[in-house]
Structures are given as structure tokens and as C-alpha cells.
Structure 1
Amino acid sequence: MPFRVVPTTEDGSLRVTDATDADLAVLTPAQAARLRELAAPHLGDGVHGLRNLAQRCRLLPEDQWPAAVEEHFRSLRSAGRGDESREQILREVHCRLLPHGSFTPETIQTMRYARLVADGLVFAYALDQPATVRMLTDPDVARVGDEDALGRAAYENLTRVPVQHEEIALEGRAVLQSVYGDSPFVASRALYLGQLHHQLTGASLPDAGALFVVPTRHLIAYHPIVDGSVADAVNDLAAYGLGAHEDGPGSLSPRVYWWHDGRITSLTVIDEAAKSFSIQPPSELLTRMRTLVRLDDAGRIPGRGRTDVTASQLAGTAGELLTRLPQDPALLAEAFPRLLDLAHAHCADDPAASLLDTWDAWATSLQLGTALFTGAEPQSCALGEDCERPLPAFPAAPPADARAWLDTFYLAIVCRDRARIQRLREVPLDVLGEDPTADPYLLHWIDTLQTYFAADCSMDDVVEKLLAVIDASHGEAVTRAPADFVNAVDYQPVALFHRLIARDHEKFAKTLADALKEHVRFWGDSTAPRAQVALGPLAMASLAHSWGFPVDTGLPQLPECLVDGSRIERIPG
């Protein structure tokens, strides 16, 4: 399996940095001087760094240092001298990650094949021999003759390196995967992190990849990028990696890296002059992280969001926000998603949405969502039979939140509120297009809906725009939202709308059943509010029912009294 090198220099070649006393920073000045004295007789044998030896000695009483130094250099001398046969090399060779700082002018001259894979990390080949590890030199590589065979053997041998694995739940919301072992090749398995993750968990890494650290050659800690906890994980990994790198032994890199589609990118920027570290994700990763945080904060994906709240708890929060709105209209942007959560959560105990409290939550959600995007005159809303609340006037100041607009539009369709549908149609697409988390397909979908519900709708225009949605909703065109979320959530209403405008009753029914299966699969056993109702498919099913389509009202996550309209009442405003 080929490894795609991402060099951090223009030509991918290695730069040499001067060796300094940083290798001995774990020791006191007196201890460092003592170690140099013990190592001095051995340094004529070649170029050797002392960092690993210093880290070992730090853990030993000083009277044991002479023996430890002798053993260390005896092990180095026992390494093969380059007379292994081609067959032996292929049998013992492994891919190896090395710290960039360990390369000297002498080693550079003998290992010109080595390449930077990311800042601070060098890819090379090494032989795992009974008593030691020997790095392959250029003559060794030439002796094998077949570079592809060498690469395959190194990869296959690396994947057989035994490791131990455990999950570490930190105080925040991030969970780190810890991989460790005695082999000096454990950290090198980060080169093929996707393969390692599948071997350990049986699952594939998400499309966004994973963040990881390799602080020592015996340790990998990584975090698959699946939800908003990535914002916590990047800081947790940075602190963990730096501490473990300083402690050793076998220090490799203090940096945080991003593994994505077989490539490795450093997120850590080191200011040598100021002796400071900072995390600076590339724009592609930063956009993905922001999208996941927004999706997670809005409760749109399984993960760290509001999974254990009840409808009664949400009702209390919603009631408090509604009470404060007349004095603080700026709370509208916070109140709308909380009311929408409440509407979904009510359907856990009232799956048909037949009760008044459930309807009130759906109706109030629509009132707040429409006010958020189009402004509104003073009106009243209700949260239960004896709980009517006044709502103040709101200016028309639509936020750049494409999915919140879609939520509101879906609500208007479900509630058969034609006036609000038309008001929402007039929200400028350019404003929604400023949403930094919205992929192009999402904006094409909004454009399609706004066009379709226009009074002078042209079906040719609708079809053309729908095709643009379909073309932009898969493959490399999607760079922000997770692919699984796009397929299971965002795209399902698009597929249903396609069958709807084609007036294909049979295919609409099948697509609706498939959409709800995708919804259930995506949410699994989550009790989050949005797991209770598939809002987009519900909107399309409500529209289909209004058009006389035979819609199965007994399907899960599809409240019957909303689909057939039997619970719908006039909404103030």
C-alpha cells in the first residue's frame, strides 16, 4: 500500500538542525554533564543522540547510570552492519517515523531516500532485529532493488506490530483513543491510522479523518473527527502530547497532527525564539470543525449534545426564554432552537402529535423561526392550555444560518402556513449563503424550494435547480458537513421532493420508507430530541398528503396528526 508523502519543504528533502542541549533538558545541568562524561567514550562509534538515553537515566538512580549507558551503546553496536540479504531485509523491514531533529548531516548523507511526511516527522525504513533496530541506508534500499516490494513489505510488517488499545474519556467531552505497546514501531502505525482504527474498532474513520499525537515511539493518542467535541480534543491532545513528549522515553514529536485521506498535516506552530506552541488548523480542517460544532450545538448530530433532556426540562427552559423575550428580543436566536427541540421531544411521548402541548410547541417554533428570518409584528404564542405568552415585535434581520432557515421552512410546510412560506421565500439567498458551514448543495436546495413555491413558478427552473442540488451533494463537492449527515439527513428531503414533483406515488412511498430507515440508522439509540422526528421527510410527507398522495401515516418518526393535518390549527401572526 503506497504512502502519500506530504513534504513540508518545497522538494520534500530533509533539513538538518543543529544538535543542542535540548536533548538533555530532562536532566539537571549536573546530571547532563555526568551523562556526557559517561557517553563520551562511545561517541566515536558514530553519530548518536542522547535524548532517549537521558530519558531512561532520569528514571534510574545515578549509581545505575554507567550500566545503563553501557547497555545502550552495546545495543547500538549490535545492530546489523548492512550485510543482510535481500530476503532478510524484506522479512524485517518496517515503516518508521523518526523525529526530524534527530537527523544530522551525516545521517542525511546516508538516508537520502527518507522524506518528511509532516513538520517534525520523517518517514524511513528500519529493520526490527532481535536485539536492536537498524535504520536502512541508501545502499540497503538499493540492494533490495524493487522499491515497491520494499514498501509493501514494510507496510505489511508494520500492520502486524502488536498494540494495546483503550478509550480515555477526559474531563471535557472529548474521548481519546490511546494505542500503546512495547514495540518501538507503535507510533509509526499512525502513518496508516485508518487501517489501525479499523483493526481496533471494526469501523472506518470518518471522512474528516482524525487528530492525533505521537509523543513517543511507543504511543499514539487520536480522536476521530465526528462531532463538536473536536474543539475540546484538539486542546486535550496538545496538552497530552506535549507532556508525554517531555517525559519520554523514545520522544518523537510534541505536535498535534491531522490524518486525512492518507495524508498527515501538522496543526502545531512552534515559535523557537519565544519557546511557544500554538495550534493553527488549515482552513479546510477549521471549516469542518466549525461545521461540526454548529451541528452539534444545534443537536443535529449524535454526540455530545442534549441527549438526556426530557420534554418537561425543555419546556421549563423554553418557558423562561419566552418570558424574557419581551425585555430582551436578542434572545430570539437562542429561543428558536430550544422551542424546536421541545417540539421534537414531545413526540417521544406523543408520537402521533395529537396532544395540545405538542402542537403548541410546533406552532410556537414556527412563530419564532419566521420572526427570526423575516421579522414579525407583536403576537401571542402558547405552551399549553393555560400558558399563553406575548411575543414582541422583531425586526427583519435574518442570520446567516442556512439550516435554521430550512428548519423554519419545513415547519411552515408541516403547519400548512402558506403566508409564512411566502415570507420565508423572500429571505435573500445571498444572506443565507454567508453561512460558513453551508456546502453549496444546501444553498441550491434552498434556491429550489424558494423557486418552487413562487407564484410564477417555472417547473423547468425547478428541475434545473434540483439537478444542481443532486450534483453538488456528493463526492468532493461536499467539504464541510460530514458525508453521513448529508446522506442521512440533508439529502433525504431532496430525494423525496424529486419523487413528489414527478408525481410518482409508488417511488415516493419507497423513498419515504428509506428516508426514515436512514434517520433511524443515523441516530441509533440516541434519545436526543431530533432523533424523535425526521423533520425534512415529515415536511415532504405533509406536502404529499396535501396533494393526495397515499402516505403511510403509521411510519416511525413521522407524527400522524401532523402528516394528515388533523392537529393543524391557525397560528397567530
Structure 2
Amino acid sequence: MNADDAPDSGLTMLTSAQASHLRALAAPYAQDGHLHPLDNLAHLCRKVPEEQWPDLVAAHFARLQQASQGGESADELLRGVHARLLPAEPLTPELAGALRYARVVADGLVFAYALDGPTSVRILTDSDVERAGTEQLGQAAYENLMRVPVEHDEVPVEGQATLHSLYGDSPFVASKALFLSAAARQAVGEPLPDAGALVVVPTRHNLVYHPIADGSVVYAVNSLAAYALGAHEDGPGALSPRVYWWHRGGLTSLTVIDHETLTFSLQPPPQLLGLMKGLVRLDRAGRLATRAGATAPDPAELTRTTAESIARLGQDPAGLGDAFASAVALAHARCAADPRAAHVDTWDAWATAVQLGSALFTGAQPQDCHLGEDLVRQLPAMSAEPPADARAWLDALYLAVVCRRQDRIGHLCQVPLETLRQDDTVDEYVLHWIDTLQTYFSRRSMDDVVQKLLATMQTSMPEALTHAPKDYVNRVDYQPTALFHRLVAGDHDAFAKALAEALEDHAGYWGASEAPRARVALGPLAMASLAYDHGFPVAQDERYLPLYLLNRERIEDIP
């Protein structure tokens, strides 16, 4: 392909030759000190023969000149100013000299102030900003922008991801990406999660975002990338073809553009990549309170799934992890209809989860797994090949503690910590917590236990989290650590108070969700079982703590 026939890197809707021609025609009009993006004009020009371009360009700039000559009063500027996102390409060095206040906010995007006039929009210059006052102008620009009306649609995509589309006639709609959490609150009634959102601003008239709250983010990123590229090329009002991460008020580009080949790739920054990995692992294990967990699972279907998973292990030992996850879900789900764990079917589900969790990390001899109603599946002999799945190890340990399987607890504590440290989906505090539990149950020095517990607490602070949502950590994942702290201190009153708070947080986190994990607070149940066995006065018949597991009355032998 001739270089002149290749798409232009800045005005991608035109060839390089056409873009050069348009820039030459527009150059004389750039002498007034104002910024004149050419994207909209380029979209118009590509639809007509080039011999008509001079007249089209002249008419375009005549309208701009007639619309705003500048010199507005400070009050007029404050009434009409809006925060505005602009494509970075048109900001030539000459124009940048008149817009020293403007700044690049992300790859391909520039923040500036724009005056919304009756027939056009004018980008404010340094003299305009000085006349209105920087602080006053910034506040007015934000308030005016947030008053811009938008339409909102929810767009489902593959993998149960949901995209939120904000759109409208105003040329300022996409600029709301600068304040995306506030815009999200306006549109859907709630702000963005701590992890932020993925967002695209293909044209000035729309933005599309996906809150980073669960594992569906991996599906959303590809859908957003495809949409942004297509909408940006279609125009008009093209802004950016990139995917951005909005986080704590800033925008970071995930899109890498090779300008020589005009190819696009997605390269999330390390922090976002860590978040995505953590969310996917948490989501697959059913630990996140998301819309996907809003409907109650069918215990009969979970029983069939678990039975089939066990039956396949003889031919496919690699399926043990999925079988364990299914058994854990079944054990929790049984407590929906049997919250005290009084029935034998409930005990069978918990016992099977213990068997599969132990086998996953420490291997197993052939043994029967009972799934209720005379349904029995044999777990074949399994070699000890512990996976790098730190939270699955915690599930296996919590289950063994609840079901009082001291031998299995001991074997689990012999799983090398180095193996679990290979799990790159968890925050550091999770690994410190495992180290604490292994040290405690291996009956090593209490000084060592306390030292490791302190490390767990220090690394679970909000500023140290890089993988798990803060709400999940604070209300669910950290609670066993808080309870263990009171347990080893021997403080009965503090333990009772911490247990009540843990159960309250569990209820608050899951809300009305029917997800299996909502039914039992597994970590607090394990710590309460330990406390009960150590003579602590643990409250009986608490919600989320199955009574007959807590007080050992339902505990039977496990093959």
C-alpha cells in the first residue's frame, strides 16, 4: 500500500494524503489562537469530493468565528463553561501556547475548558481562564458538566458482563468520564467500586463503562475495545478509540497503538492485571456478592454436579479442584433449607467437602463419598499434588476445623507454603494468614504465631490491597483473622463481640443474595468451632453458624 493511501494516524477516517490536504486548508484559520479540532470536519469531508473541501472548510470556520469571538465577561464564562475532553492530536505546539492550563489526562486525551454557546462550542484560552479565575472556573465547569442530561442503557455482553452506556446530544457527554464515579451515581444510583471501572469515550456524545466488581471484567474489556474502535471510526465527534481504566479520579490507557502498523493491543497495567486475576478467582469460587449470585441454586442439581465430578476423577484427576468447589457450594446450599445442619443429607455434603478438600491438597486413599439419599460415589486414590490456590486451601482447612478432623488439619498444615505462594491472585495478607494457621496448628511457638498474626493484620490494611475488593476483605475475608486474634488472647468478651460483628458484616455483604456462600459464614464458623472447643461461651443458634456443626452434635466419622 502506498503510504499516502494508508489511514492517517490522527484523522483515521482519512488517508494520509487526504488528512494532509485538510490540514493545509485549515491552517490559515488556526491563526486566531483558538483550538480547532478537525475530527468533525474530517467526517464531513470524507463524504464529499475533495474539490468541494475548500468551500466546506471555509463555511465551517465561518460558523465558528460567528459563534464566538471571545471577550465574554467572567460571569458569562462561569455560566457556560464545561470541563471538556479533547483528542490529543489536534493540540499542536502553536495552539498549546495559548492553552498552557490544559493538560494531558491520559494517552490520547486532553482536559480543557469549553464555553457552550448557542450554536457552537469554543475552547477557552489562558486569558479566558485568568479572567474568570482558576478556582471558580474549575468548580463551575464541573457543576455545569454534571448538569448535562444523558440517557442510560444497560448492555449485556458475553460472560454475564454488563456495560453501562451514557449518551446524548450534548458534545459534553463523554467528558463525564473525568468524573465517572459521580456520573455513575447519577445514572444508576450508586458510585463505582473501589477498583473503579473500564471506560471508553469513542465520541464526544457517548461513554460506555463497566464497573470492576467481579470476574466479568475479563469479558467486558474485549467488548469495550471492539465497540470503541468501531464507534470512533464511524464518528462524528470522534474522541478516542482506546480503553481506559478509571481509578481514583484518574484515567489510564489499556490500549497500546502501533502507529506504524496501525494495530491495537490491550495491555492492562500490573495493578489492574492483579485486580482482574483476583476477581476472576474469587468469582469462580462464588465468593463475591454479585448479581450472578442473586438466584438460589438447586441443591438437587448441585448434588448431581458434585456426583458427576467425583465419578470422572478416575479418568480425569485434574477435575478434583472443580469437584471440591462444587462440594463446597453444595455444603453451603444445604443450609438454606437446613440452617442448623440437623439433617443427614446436610452432614453428608459437609463431609464430602472435607474429603475432597483434603484430597486436593494432601492426596487420598480410595474412599466413599456420601451425597445423601443413598447416593454414593467413590473417590479414587489421589496423589498429593497441591495446587497454587490459597483460598481453596483455606476452605479445606476451615471445613476440617468445623468437622473436627484433626488428622486432616495436620496434613493440610504440611502443604508447603512455597506452593501456595505461587498463587498470584491473592493479596499478601492471605498468605500471611495461611502461615499463621499452619504455625498454630503445628503447635509451634505462640511467639511465632503472634508475629505471623501481626504480619497478617498489617498487610490487610486497605492501602496494601491490590487484588481483592476492599468491601469483601473488610466484611468477609478478614473476619476469621479478627476472631483468631481474640481467641489466642483468651478474651471471651472480645471474641463474642467480634463474632457478632463478623456475622453482621457477613449479612451486610451478601444482602438478599441467594448464593451458597451467603448461607454460612465459613471462616467465622471455623473460628467459633475452635472457640467452642476451648471453652469459650459461644452464642448458640446464631444465623450463618449451623448449630449442630458448631456444637459437634451432627459430627460423624468421615471415611
Same fold (TM over 0.5): yes
> Among 98, 102, 114, which residue is 1:126 paired with?
114
Seen in structure 2, the aligned counterparts of structure 1 residues 263 and 49 have a Cα distance that, compared at 3 Å, is: closer
Residue equivalent to 1:414: 402
Q: Give percent identity, aligned residues only.
A: 60
Residue equivalent to 1:45: 29
CA–CA separation in structure 2 for the residues paired with 1:438 and 1:561: 32
Seen in structure 2, the aligned counterparts of structure 1 residues 401 and 28 have a Cα distance that, compared at 3 Å, is: closer
Residue equivalent to 2:332: 344
Deviation at 1:54, TM superposition (A): 4.2
CA–CA separation in structure 2 for the residues paired with 1:65 and 1:181: 29
- Bigger CA drift: 494-503 or 366-375? 494-503
The answer to whether the 8 A contact 1:127-1:136 is kept is yes
| SS of structure 2 residue aligned to 1:87 | helix
> Among 509, 518, 522, which residue is 2:509 paired with?
522
CA–CA separation in structure 1 for the residues paired with 2:16 and 2:438: 72
> Among 531, 534, 538, which residue is 1:551 paired with?
538
Matched, 1:187 2:171: no
CA–CA separation in structure 2 for the residues paired with 1:534 and 1:295: 16
| SS of structure 1 residue aligned to 2:104 | strand
Seen in structure 2, the aligned counterparts of structure 1 residues 373 and 23 have a Cα distance that, compared at 3 Å, is: closer
Seen in structure 2, the aligned counterparts of structure 1 residues 163 and 263 have a Cα distance that, compared at 3 Å, is: same
Residue equivalent to 1:7: none
CA–CA separation in structure 1 for the residues paired with 2:28 and 2:49: 26
Matched, 1:317 2:301: no
Show the 5 A alignment for 1:194-273: 194-273=181-260
Give per-residue Cα distances to partners, 1:229-278, cap 9 Å, x unaligned: 10011011111111111121111001000001111100001112222111
CA–CA separation in structure 2 for the residues paired with 1:20 and 1:344: 57
Show the 5 A alignment for 1:20-31: 26=13
The answer to whether the 8 A contact 2:335-2:346 is kept is yes
Residue equivalent to 1:6: none
> Among 122, 131, 134, which residue is 1:147 paired with?
134
Residue equivalent to 2:3: none
Show the 5 A alignment for 1:10-89: 26=13, 44-46=28-30, 48-55=36-43, 72-89=60-77
| SS of structure 2 residue aligned to 1:286 | helix
Seen in structure 2, the aligned counterparts of structure 1 residues 187 and 379 have a Cα distance that, compared at 3 Å, is: same
Show the 5 A alignment for 1:396-545: 396-455=384-443, 457-545=444-532
Matched, 1:361 2:345: no
CA–CA separation in structure 2 for the residues paired with 1:65 and 1:432: 65
Deviation at 1:431, TM superposition (A): 1.4
Seen in structure 2, the aligned counterparts of structure 1 residues 65 and 517 have a Cα distance that, compared at 3 Å, is: farther
CA–CA separation in structure 2 for the residues paired with 1:75 and 1:529: 62
| SS of structure 2 residue aligned to 1:110 | coil
CA–CA separation in structure 2 for the residues paired with 1:425 and 1:49: 64
Seen in structure 2, the aligned counterparts of structure 1 residues 65 and 304 have a Cα distance that, compared at 3 Å, is: farther
Residue equivalent to 1:14: none
Residue equivalent to 1:335: 323
Deviation at 1:303, TM superposition (A): 2.6
Deviation at 1:41, TM superposition (A): 8.1
* Ranges in structure 2 where 5+ consecutive residues have no aligned partner: 1-5
Give per-residue Cα distances to partners, 1:68-94, cap 9 Å, x unaligned: 877643431124333223333333322
Give per-residue Cα distances to partners, 1:351-405, cap 9 Å, x unaligned: 1111112111111111111111112223222222523332222222211111011
| SS of structure 1 residue aligned to 2:202 | coil
The answer to whether the 8 A contact 2:160-2:292 is kept is no
Seen in structure 2, the aligned counterparts of structure 1 residues 98 and 88 have a Cα distance that, compared at 3 Å, is: same
Matched, 1:390 2:374: no
CA–CA separation in structure 1 for the residues paired with 2:337 and 2:48: 63
**1:566 partner letter:** E
The answer to whether the 8 A contact 2:7-2:16 is kept is no
CA–CA separation in structure 2 for the residues paired with 1:523 and 1:416: 27
**1:525 partner letter:** A
| SS of structure 1 residue aligned to 2:256 | strand
| SS of structure 2 residue aligned to 1:152 | helix
| SS of structure 1 residue aligned to 2:535 | coil
TM-score (norm 1): 0.89
Deviation at 1:60, TM superposition (A): 10
The answer to whether the 8 A contact 1:296-1:305 is kept is no
CA–CA separation in structure 2 for the residues paired with 1:468 and 1:478: 14
Q: Cα RMSD over matched residues?
A: 2.9
Seen in structure 2, the aligned counterparts of structure 1 residues 94 and 226 have a Cα distance that, compared at 3 Å, is: same
| SS of structure 2 residue aligned to 1:213 | strand
CA–CA separation in structure 1 for the residues paired with 2:298 and 2:59: 63
CA–CA separation in structure 2 for the residues paired with 1:536 and 1:143: 61
> Among 78, 90, 95, which residue is 1:107 paired with?
95
Seen in structure 2, the aligned counterparts of structure 1 residues 125 and 28 have a Cα distance that, compared at 3 Å, is: closer
* Ranges in structure 1 where 5+ consecutive residues have no aligned partner: 1-18
Deviation at 1:50, TM superposition (A): 4.2
The answer to whether the 8 A contact 1:23-1:49 is kept is no
Deviation at 1:20, TM superposition (A): 7.7
- Bigger CA drift: 496-505 or 346-355? 496-505
The answer to whether the 8 A contact 2:9-2:259 is kept is no
CA–CA separation in structure 2 for the residues paired with 1:390 and 1:20: 63
Give per-residue Cα distances to partners, 1:287-337, cap 9 Å, x unaligned: 100110111011111236565531110111111111121232222122111
Seen in structure 2, the aligned counterparts of structure 1 residues 363 and 385 have a Cα distance that, compared at 3 Å, is: same
CA–CA separation in structure 1 for the residues paired with 2:392 and 2:425: 12
| SS of structure 2 residue aligned to 1:125 | strand
Seen in structure 2, the aligned counterparts of structure 1 residues 154 and 571 have a Cα distance that, compared at 3 Å, is: same
Deviation at 1:132, TM superposition (A): 1.7
CA–CA separation in structure 2 for the residues paired with 1:550 and 1:209: 42
> Among 282, 288, 295, which residue is 1:301 paired with?
288
Deviation at 1:183, TM superposition (A): 1.7
**2:416 partner letter:** P
- Bigger CA drift: 134-143 or 206-215? 134-143
**2:254 partner letter:** L
Seen in structure 2, the aligned counterparts of structure 1 residues 510 and 497 have a Cα distance that, compared at 3 Å, is: same
Give per-residue Cα distances to partners, 1:105-147, cap 9 Å, x unaligned: 4322322332211111011122122222111223333444x43
